[in-house]
Chains A and B, each alone.
Chain A
Amino acid sequence: MKRIFKTAATTALITAASLSHASLSDDKVKIGVLGDMGGVYSDITGQGSIEAVQMAVDDFGGKVLGKPIEVVSADTQLKPDIGSTIARQWIENEQVDVISGAVASSVTGAVTKIMSDAKKITLIAAPASHAFTTSGCSPYNAHWSYDVVSLANGTVQPMVAGGAKKWFFVTADYGFGHALESVATGVIEANGGEVVGGVRAPLGTSDFSSYILQAQSSGADVIALANTGSDMVNALKTAAEFGVTEMADVAGLLVFTPNAQALDPEIAGGMKLTTGFYWDMDEQTREWSKRYMARMDGKLPSMAQAGAYSSVMHYLNAVEAVGTDDSDAVMAKMKETPVEDFFSRNGYLRIDGRMVHDMLQVRIKNADERSDANDIFAIEKVIKGEDAFLKLEDGGCEFALNQK
């Protein structure tokens, strides 16, 4: 009896939903932007991510299905507990429909869990861990800009294939660094290289000279920096100072454009790295980036910020197309529509939530190649999305594999 009632109720609901055309919960779409506003990642996310999302909303016309789009934002301070509290409050009290951003893999892990339980979509634009589309995947995750696998494939694989067989890791001693190191190690070994040593440096280490010295005495061909932000900058500076860069290659595994801009070209010139986006790639990227920079006092967009725009735009298009902000329907539409814009080339949102798109292998320009302060990368190669990201079958995302 109970079951019949349930079925009847569901049928009634579905009919009701399909009857009313443009059905938005509480008559608006509310986008919550979670970011790091004042910490180490504030340059690559922060205000820039909020501005990018707002820009997407403005470009969309400020309204979807005739109803207003609202953007709210908050600072997680890179703490998972704060991130979860905000996410919960947004869902329960403030009718937020979708969260964009969420910085640092630890915070994102906590936020996506809450969002998935509430059947709400998270547009993950900044974090690196590939867990959100593998072991920790969810039908409500959309991981946009890049992940550790695409970085390792883009940067490490060609170097090993090019003859750099012996590797030494300087790894940030927390989740992201460990993930990056283990994925990169897999790529090195699969291509016939070996890892001759490594050190785990605590996050926020200011002096890397001891580690660089150990790297030097290991006899490695390449010193891989599995860290990011100022840790990466400091490690690279120290390597140059101790003359290591003349004897071995240094590979920065996660370098955001603003970080690369902060590096002295004399030290960093020639270094190869992988990125999901570069402002000066073609007409389309330049057009978007110039508009972004006009809103951001001339600051260059990072791939996390550009990815935030792209993912929000794709989300809004899907809402418009299906005529509702119901997460399941919107997500189905997002996965069915190709992602083709200034940010993403040959892109599509895979069933496990991974947005597969072409990645760029770039080289940091030397001082004499640069036309101005924003001229940072030379694009060496476009890596096809299929080659850059982990295959669906290898990811182990259960719901996606079952659905397939």
Chain B
Amino acid sequence: MATFFDINLFALFGQLLIGLINGSFYALLALGLAIIFGLLKIINFSQGALYMLGAFAAWIALNYLGISYWWALILVPLAVGAFGIVIERTLIRPIANEDHLYSLLLTFGIALILQGLFTHWYGSSGLSYAMPEALKGGTRLPFMYLPNYRAWIIVFSLLVCACTWFMIEKTRLGAYLRAGTENAQLMQAFGINVPLLVTLTYGFGVGLAGLAGVLAAPIYTVSPDMGSNILIVVFAIVVIGGMGSIGGAIITGLAMGIVEGLTKYFYPEASNTVIFLVMVLVLLIKPAGLFGKEA
């Protein structure tokens, strides 16, 4: 009986750890969305497609240009960020003062176009990205086998999340940014180039999606619909955390990963709905989200 109990406990620990891994993924993606929404008030529905773009860019870089995973980790987010900046300047900027719905529809359209293009070019079966040598293998923990790559995901994405949070909430640049979105005219009167700040922020938020794409490439199939599968979940996380709350997005991302992991253990059929259930409950009790400021 004791062994039986032990095994169950071990399995539970395993699921918790996996939840944490997925959670750090969610956190990274939610962070990008939260920055773009919180600071720029753009509902960026193309975030999932840009995550897909990041994964494809890593694949293309490796297979056509011979750029390794480690370089891709730096270059791809920059490239995706630059792509985002172009989109922001040419497409989003002209409708910046319209209703939020316009940017939602626009970015949704961009996502569909990107997804369609990559399906056309690379097919729907997906591509496989080779795992970098240094991160192959794994460690046998008492309760599960932890692949090195998964451990790397936790460490790396938490580090990126922490740095981003610190930059926005604690540095002077972050303060400018927050002030600029609060009252652009006043900030401009102080000599701050607000439009530039906005463009860079959008590029940064989008770059985070590209980074998540690179992280995902070695473990998931690089396929055109990888972004649309995850986008809705990430949106739910941002809503639960409180639209625009940077810290909230990170913590909620991790928490929802764990909640999902536990659901997969106890009742797998509900695993892709549990986050939405939480979202509904949170919206009913605390409409602004767990960490959001009441409007």
* Alpha-carbon distance A234/B14, docked complex (angstroms): 19
**Contact between B221 and A230, CB atoms less than 8 A apart:** yes
B201 → A minimal CB distance (Å) = 28
User: In this assembly, does B282 line the interface, its C-beta being within 8 Å of a C-beta of chain A?
Assistant: no
User: In this assembly, does B124 line the interface, its C-beta being within 8 Å of a C-beta of chain A?
Assistant: yes
**Contact between A200 and B269, CB atoms less than 8 A apart:** yes
Within 8 A of A (CB), among B1-28: 7, 10-11, 14-15, 18-19, 21-22
Query: Within 8 Å CB of B268, what residues of A?
Result: 199-201, 210-211
Q: Across the two chains, which residue of chain A brings its CB closest to B268?
A: A199
Stretch at the interface among A19-27, A50-58, A109-117, A255-263: A255-263
User: In this assembly, does B145 line the interface, its C-beta being within 8 Å of a C-beta of chain A?
Assistant: yes
**Contact between B145 and A242, CB atoms less than 8 A apart:** yes
**Contact between B221 and A211, CB atoms less than 8 A apart:** no
**Contact between A206 and B220, CB atoms less than 8 A apart:** yes
**Contact between A202 and B123, CB atoms less than 8 A apart:** no
What total of A-B pairs shows CB separation below 8 Å?
109
**Contact between A202 and B125, CB atoms less than 8 A apart:** no
**Contact between A206 and B226, CB atoms less than 8 A apart:** yes
Number of interface residues of B (CB under 8 A): 40
Stretch at the interface among A33-41, A64-72, A127-135, A147-155: A33-41
Within 8 A of B (CB), among A1-52: 38-44, 46
User: In this assembly, does A214 line the interface, its C-beta being within 8 Å of a C-beta of chain B?
Assistant: yes
**Contact between A209 and B21, CB atoms less than 8 A apart:** yes
* Alpha-carbon distance A211/B265, docked complex (angstroms): 8
B244 → A minimal CB distance (Å) = 26
- Interface size on A, as a range, is 35 or more
B116, B138, B144: residue with the most chain A Cβ atoms closer than 10 Å:
B144
Q: What 1/0 mask marks residues of chain A from 195 to 213 whose CB sits below 8 Å from any chain B CB? A: 0000111101111011101
Among A202, A214, A263, A299, point to the contact of B128 (Cβ < 8 A). A263
User: In this assembly, does A395 line the interface, its C-beta being within 8 Å of a C-beta of chain B?
Assistant: no
Q: Across the two chains, which residue of chain B brings its CB closest to A212?
A: B18
Known pairs A209-B21, A213-B15; A202 contacts B272 (CB<8 A): yes
Among B7, B11, B14, B219, point to the contact of A237 (Cβ < 8 A). B219
**Contact between B124 and A43, CB atoms less than 8 A apart:** yes
* Alpha-carbon distance A402/B225, docked complex (angstroms): 46
**Contact between A262 and B127, CB atoms less than 8 A apart:** yes
**Contact between B271 and A214, CB atoms less than 8 A apart:** no
User: In this assembly, does A233 line the interface, its C-beta being within 8 Å of a C-beta of chain B?
Assistant: yes
Q: What 1/0 mask marks residues of chain B from 229 to 248 whose CB sits below 8 Å from any chain A CB? A: 11000000000000000000
B111 → A minimal CB distance (Å) = 14
Among A210, A229, A233, A259, point to the contact of B15 (Cβ < 8 A). A210
Query: Within 8 Å CB of A262, what residues of B?
Result: 125-128, 221
Q: Across the two chains, which residue of chain A brings its CB closest to B127?
A: A262
Q: Pick 14 A–B contacts, CB within 8 A, sort by A.
A: A40-B225, A42-B119, A43-B125, A201-B268, A209-B150, A211-B264, A217-B7, A233-B125, A233-B128, A237-B219, A241-B131, A241-B138, A243-B145, A262-B126
B-side residues, CB < 8 A to A, are: 7, 10-11, 14-15, 18-19, 21-22, 116, 119, 123-128, 130-131, 138, 144-145, 147, 149-150, 219-221, 223, 225-226, 229-230, 261, 264-265, 268-269, 271-272
